[in-house]
Structure 1
Amino acid sequence: MIRVLLADDHAVMRDCLLHILEAAQSFVVAGQSSDGESTLALVRSTNADVLVLDLTMPAGGGIGLIERIRAANPRLRVLVLSMHAEPHVMERAFKAGADGYLTKESAGTDLVLAVRKVAHGEAYAGLGHAERSPQRLERLTPQPHDALTSREREVLRHLAAGETSRRIADVLDLTPQTVSTHKKHILEKLALANDAALIRYAMRHGLDGEGDESGVD
């Protein structure tokens, strides 16, 4: 069963989404919220696979909420549900960390497909009733390292170069304990088990030296 959270400020909309998912019989709705702040509390406290997130909720909703959710629960997949069918809104959502984008007009027919794709690690980008091309999705889909802060990227580059925590602390004017904390957060956000995996990831994504030009978060 795929565990889903529903975040929408309209109870009627949440009920519709709930009924669609329950009818599919392969989902369980683990929690619901109605504004930005309660959504943040929900994703921190409830184990789930996918969050279906309305973009236009009160109390801290919008594109910025996606980034806050990413920081609060990096492993949770986020499917944005929006009334906006404009490509530039969808692109902003993906750049902020969304894993999928679905318009409300097509939720009745495409919600189950979108949630399944996002839950299984794929991207979904639907504007109206048309899903975007795989090439387009590949360009828009965020990478795990997009969730790193600029300081974490600095620490990652030094770790990938084989430097010790004490050396990195000296170079970046930090304490070794702070470097260790950054390293712990990096491993968690990238879902990596050890230093060797971290170095491989950094090299594969060009984050191990001057070639990384994506340090602005």
Structure 2
Amino acid sequence: MIRIGIVDDHAIVRLGLREFFHEQEDLQVVGEAADGREAIELVRRTKVDVLMMDLNMPGQSGVDALIRIRAAAPEVAILVFTAYPQEQYAAILFQLGAGGFLCKECNPVEIVRAIRELGLGRRHVTPALASLLANRLEGRGEAPHNRLSEREFQVFLKLASGMRPSAIAPDLSLSAKTVSSYRGRVMAKLHLSSTSDLTYYALKHQLLS
């Protein structure tokens, strides 16, 4: 039996997934969460094999939650299930520790396949995503943000969403000076010169909801 946790801020989505998984003899939903903080608490208090998680949630972002869950419960496989485009997010999410990435428009059969593969300790990569990742390894069509480190990507998203370094620092348990240092690295890697440029870049690449 594969124990599943569902993380999505829409109750109707959680309900639909729970009823869908109930029809599968080898899958069991053991908990739900509506945001990133609840997701972290879920994996801390409940034995979860696969966490199926959206990225666009209120409060703590799915990216932040993914990083913290990987640190708190590295044995939990994370399946990102989101409306965000895989072309922009999948590569860096695999880098951050995701075990699979599915768009919400996917066939339900693909969801079950992904859950079972992650439950066996494997990664789930669709043919389309495999092609994208192969192109990235070969340096073809790689978006600049995919070259950011874990922390740089976190800081980048927060800056692009309008947060000031002084607010980002306590949120990521960093000093304001360190956040400013990360900001400088992000600017250099993305070849940008201002926070408004960061926001424009994020919107252009569909990295903000």
After TM superposition, the score normalised by the length of structure 2 is 0.60
Identity %: 34
Q: Deviations over 1:161-182 (max 9, x none)?
A: xxxxxxxxxxxxxxxxxxxxxx
Shift in alpha-carbon separation, 1:58–1:135, aligned structure 2, 3 A:
closer
Tell me what 1:47 maps to: 47
Any conservation in 1 of the 2:53–2:62 contact (CA below 8 Å)? no
Aligned runs of 1:27-42 on 2, under 5 Å?
Answer: 27-42=27-42
Corresponding residue pairs, total:
138
Mind listing any 5+ residue stretches in structure 1 that lack a counterpart?
A: 140-146, 148-217
Tell me what 1:68 maps to: 68
Distance across 1 between alignment mates of 2:90 and 2:44: 25
List structure 1 runs of 4+ shifted beyond 3 angstroms: 133-136
* 1:131 shift after superposition: 5.3
What root-mean-square deviation, in Å, do the aligned CA atoms of Structure 1 and Structure 2 show? 2.5
Any conservation in 1 of the 2:86–2:103 contact (CA below 8 Å)? no
Tell me what 2:111 maps to: 111
Distance across 1 between alignment mates of 2:9 and 2:46: 19
Distance across 2 between alignment mates of 1:65 and 1:112: 23
Any conservation in 2 of the 1:103–1:126 contact (CA below 8 Å)? no
Mind listing any 5+ residue stretches in structure 2 that lack a counterpart?
A: 138-149, 151-209
Any conservation in 2 of the 1:100–1:125 contact (CA below 8 Å)? yes
Shift in alpha-carbon separation, 1:116–1:131, aligned structure 2, 3 A:
farther
Letter paired with 2:17: L
Shift in alpha-carbon separation, 1:131–1:96, aligned structure 2, 3 A:
closer
Any conservation in 1 of the 2:35–2:59 contact (CA below 8 Å)? yes
SS class of match (2:106): helix
* 1:25 shift after superposition: 1.5
SS class of match (1:21): helix
Shift in alpha-carbon separation, 1:24–1:131, aligned structure 2, 3 A:
farther
Distance across 2 between alignment mates of 1:79 and 1:54: 9
Q: Whose radius of gyration is greater, 1 or 2?
A: 1
Tell me what 1:183 maps to: none
Any conservation in 1 of the 2:91–2:133 contact (CA below 8 Å)? no
Q: Deviations over 1:95-127 (max 9, x none)?
A: 111011111111523110010011111111348
Shift in alpha-carbon separation, 1:87–1:135, aligned structure 2, 3 A:
closer
SS class of match (2:51): strand
Distance across 2 between alignment mates of 1:105 and 1:91: 19
Letter paired with 1:47: K
Letter paired with 2:73: N
After TM superposition, the score normalised by the length of structure 1 is 0.58
Shift in alpha-carbon separation, 1:15–1:126, aligned structure 2, 3 A:
farther
* 1:94 shift after superposition: 0.8
